[in-house]
């Protein structure tokens, strides 16, 4: 680790980011605690939603789901993601490793990006479980346009990971952090959720042009908040 | 301190400009139509007429059952209008007798939803007063804090 | 000088309030369609103006605070945040009452209402963070405000396009005569009122901060136990 310049551009930076991400992923794969709990929680959310919002009509068929299945998906992802975020950063606090990370020559923004990548990976694993589940339980046409599905999920997850990591990092040493994370995170994420839900919904309804519009929107959202996150993380996370 | 004021002034100006142009707070079309009717904005307060007494009472054209009575009614109407024009006293009398009723009708119509206006105004004041009360509480806490700081200071000076 | 400015603004506010009351209820004609209910419009829309002013003030001073860490920017940000919650609540509730009277529904999920509601929620989150975040919550709240500010145009566009995929062209207000005067005077009045409340609240915030700093200094110097 010695001799590595504190740089924010070039391959060195990416190497920092992947080092942090890889560290988190390796730790997680050993115990798989976050993965299992996140996934289980997401599955339970989907099931509870199905009890709450689906109804059977006279012939015993479930009501048209193309309108509400995208909502199930994103809400489950959001809740599971929030859980994972607070747990992942809790770990840093428990081991008091954050200080060590901040003292190292790695630029702060790389720390943040690395953790965001790790969280995003966890969330993608959860989505890999949830999407087939929704397809299976509700016969929702999730795989009509795989490219759209993949793009939307990737971009949406990236957005949640980026914004969530910034706030979770800032909340690290704050009182009431468990309750405050959703309080600060969810209003900021609403445009992302709208875009994600509309994109998948449009795909299910066979209107891919609309989906691509929302995917573009997600790109703008991610870019904007990536910049904001990099800037604030440098200044605001000092512990 | 200068910069604080400048900051305030600039942000207020920017906000006002933004709100006026971009954010579409069209004062006339303050709220768009219910979801679904995207292109039917609520009627702006465009053509307004002062709260003046109603125009001279004119009987609304009756919808006759048969075609004949329609012609009849039209004839009667012409007769009445001619008579009214000839006799301004009668016209004034007619107007006066109807005036109160029409006024009342119009006033009732205009005052529809008076309750809502009062309620909205009340909400405004209640929220503002609540905020002021909270600020007052904060002020009191501040005073107490100053007193305790002063005490600590005096104690420290005495100890020295 | 600043004190005189404050008093002058307060006097202006009082005069303005009296005059706009007159204008709203006596000079401005009754709206033909909405009747008396339309009067709510004279303080509902100005409170929306003030909400946006407060949010932008909070956002800009939060940005400055993140960059420079100067206490005075934090004071302005916290004051503006609280006022945003207050005026946002006024706007939402009066708007809802108006909607009930005009269209029989308390709430609609159209672009403007949803946008305002979300913005208000961000500011409520801001105030909650400041209140319950414990030490160091100013930085977190400032970060939230920065993100919220960046989010505002996105919320607006996403919700607007969500509701109608074809963007609307906004119509320039067609107010005439006394209605127009009453309206714009109300807007100015409310903005001045906002500045007054902001100045007052900033004063309190600043006093609190200075007090805390003084106590810290005392502790540092070893004066207190």
pLDDT tens, position by position, C156-200: 777 777 665 433 434 335 667 777 888 888 899 999 999 999 998
Handedness of CA B76, B78, B81, B86 (dihedral sign): negative
Q: Select from C122, C150, C161 the Cβ nearest to the Cβ of A228.
A: C150
Among A48-62, B77-91, C27-41, C67-81, where is mean pLDDT lowest? Answer: A48-62
On the question of pLDDT at A34 being above 60, the answer is yes
What is the mean predicted confidence (pLDDT) over C97-119? 81
Structure-block tokens of residue A230: 């990099």
Q: Mean pLDDT lowest for which of A79-88, A228-237, B8-17, C207-216? A: B8-17
Comparing B60 with C31, the larger pLDDT belongs to C31
- Which of the four pLDDT bands, split at 50, 70 and 90, describes residue B10? low
Max mean pLDDT range (A9-13, B91-95, C111-115)? B91-95
The complex scores an ipTM of: 0.77
Q: Lowest-pLDDT range, A44-53, C29-38, C50-59?
A: C29-38
Q: Residue C150 and residue A175: Cβ atoms within 8 Å? A: no
Interface touch A232/C129, C-beta < 8 Å: no
Q: Using the beta-carbon criterion (under 8 Å), do A236 and C66 form an inter-chain contact?
A: yes
The answer to whether B40 touches C110, Cβ cutoff 8 Å, is no
Average per-residue pLDDT for chain C: 83
Compute the mean pLDDT over every residue in chain A, rounded to the nearest whole number: 83
Split at pLDDT 50, 70, 90, the class of C103 is confident
Residue C168: predicted pLDDT: 41
**Res A61: pLDDT:** 62
**pLDDT tens digits, residue range A130-142?**
999 888 877 778 8
- Residue C79 · residue C61 · CB < 8 Å: no
pTM higher than 0.90 for the full model? no
**In the numeric block, which tokens belong to residue C134?**
């414990």
Return the pLDDT at C169: 35
Give domain limits for chain C. Answer: 39-168+178-213
User: Which chain C residues are within 8 Å of A167, Cβ to Cβ?
Assistant: 140, 143-144
**Structural domain includes residue B129:** yes
Q: Which chain C positions have a beta carbon within 8 Å of A166's beta carbon?
A: 143, 147
Residue C1 carries which DSSP code?
-
Whole-number pLDDT of residue B123: 84
Q: What is the pLDDT of residue C88?
A: 93
User: Is C162 in contact with A198 (Cβ distance < 8 A)?
Assistant: yes
Is pLDDT at C60 greater than 50 in this prediction?
Answer: yes
C108 → closest Cβ in B35, B38, B152? B35
pLDDT over threshold 90, residue A76? yes
Structure confidence at residue C172 (pLDDT):
30
Burial letters A182-208, b for 16+ CB under 10 A, else e = bbbbbbbbbbbbbbbbbbbbbbbeeeb
Domain span including residue B124: 114-160
CB of B128 less than 8 A from some CB of C: yes
Of C32, C171, C204, the CB nearest to B49: C32
Interface touch B18/C37, C-beta < 8 Å: no
The total of structural domains in chain B comes to 1
Predicted pLDDT at C166: 39
């Amino acid at each position: 680790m010695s001799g590595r310049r504190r740089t924010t551009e070039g391959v060195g930076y990416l190497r920092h980011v992947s080092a942090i991400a890889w560290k988190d992923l390796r730790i997680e794969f050993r115990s798989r605690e976050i993965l299992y709990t996140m996934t289980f929680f997401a599955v339970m959310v989907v099931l509870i939603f199905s009890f709450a919002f689906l109804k059977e009509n006279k012939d015993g068929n479930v009501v048209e789901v193309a309108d509400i299945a995208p909502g199930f998906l994103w809400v489950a992802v959001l809740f599971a993601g929030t859980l994972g975020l607070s747990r992942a950063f809790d770990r840093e606090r428990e081991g008091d490793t954050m200080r060590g990370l901040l003292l190292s020559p790695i630029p702060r923004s790389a720390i943040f990006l690395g953790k965001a990548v790790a969280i995003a990976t966890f969330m993608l694993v959860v989505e890999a479980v949830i999407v087939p589940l929704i397809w299976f339980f509700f016969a929702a046409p999730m795989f009509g346009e795989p490219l759209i599905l993949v793009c939307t999920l990737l971009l949406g997850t990236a957005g949640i990971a980026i914004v969530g990591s910034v706030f979770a990092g800032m909340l690290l040493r704050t009182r009431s952090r468990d309750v405050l994370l959703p309080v600060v995170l969810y209003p900021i994420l609403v445009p992302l959720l709208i875009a994600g839900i509309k994109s998948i919904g449009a795909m299910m309804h066979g209107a891919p042009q609309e989906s691509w519009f929302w995917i573009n929107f997600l790109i703008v959202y991610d870019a904007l908040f990536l910049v904001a996150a990099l800037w604030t993380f440098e200044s605001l996370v000092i512990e | 301190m200068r910069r604080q004021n400048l900051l305030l002034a600039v942000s207020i100006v920017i906000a006002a400009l933004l709100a006026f142009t971009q954010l579409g707070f069209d004062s006339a079309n303050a709220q768009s139509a219910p979801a679904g009717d995207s292109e039917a904005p609520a009627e702006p307060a465009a053509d307004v007429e002062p709260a003046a007494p109603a125009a001279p009472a004119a009987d609304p054209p009756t919808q006759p059952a048969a075609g004949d009575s329609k012609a009849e009614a039209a004839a009667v109407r012409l007769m009445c209008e001619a008579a009214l024009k000839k006799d301004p006293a009668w016209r004034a009398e007619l107007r006066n007798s109807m005036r109160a009723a029409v006024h009342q009708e119009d006033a009732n119509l205009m005052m529809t939803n008076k309750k809502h206006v009062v309620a909205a105004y009340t909400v405004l004041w209640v929220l503002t007063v609540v905020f002021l009360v909270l600020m007052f509480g904060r002020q009191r806490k501040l005073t107490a804090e100053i007193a305790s700081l002063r005490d600590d200071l005096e104690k420290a000076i005495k100890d020295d | 000088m600043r004190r005189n400015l404050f008093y002058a603004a307060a006097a202006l506010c009082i005069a303005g309030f009296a005059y706009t009351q007159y204008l709203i209820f006596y000079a401005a004609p009754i709206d033909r369609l909405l009747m008396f209910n339309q009067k709510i419009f004279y303080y509902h829309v100005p409170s929306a103006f003030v909400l946006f002013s407060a949010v932008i003030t909070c956002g800009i001073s939060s940005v400055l605070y993140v960059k420079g860490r100067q206490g005075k920017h934090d004071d302005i940000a916290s004051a503006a945040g609280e006022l945003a919650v207050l005026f946002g609540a006024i706007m939402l509730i009066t708007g809802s009452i108006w909607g009930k009277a005009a269209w029989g529904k308390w709430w609609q999920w159209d672009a403007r209402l949803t946008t305002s509601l979300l913005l208000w929620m961000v500011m409520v989150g801001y105030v909650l963070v400041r209140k319950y975040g414990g030490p160091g919550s100013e930085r977190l709240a400032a970060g939230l405000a920065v993100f919220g500010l960046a989010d505002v145009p996105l919320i607006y566009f996403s919700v607007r396009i969500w509701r109608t995929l074809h963007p609307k062209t906004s119509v320039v207000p067609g107010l005439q005569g006394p209605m127009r005067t009453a309206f714009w005077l109300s807007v100015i009045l409310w903005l001045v009122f906002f500045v007054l409340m902001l100045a007052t609240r900033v004063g309190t915030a600043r006093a609190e901060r200075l007090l805390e700093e003084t106590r810290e200094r005392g502790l540092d110097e070893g004066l207190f136990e």
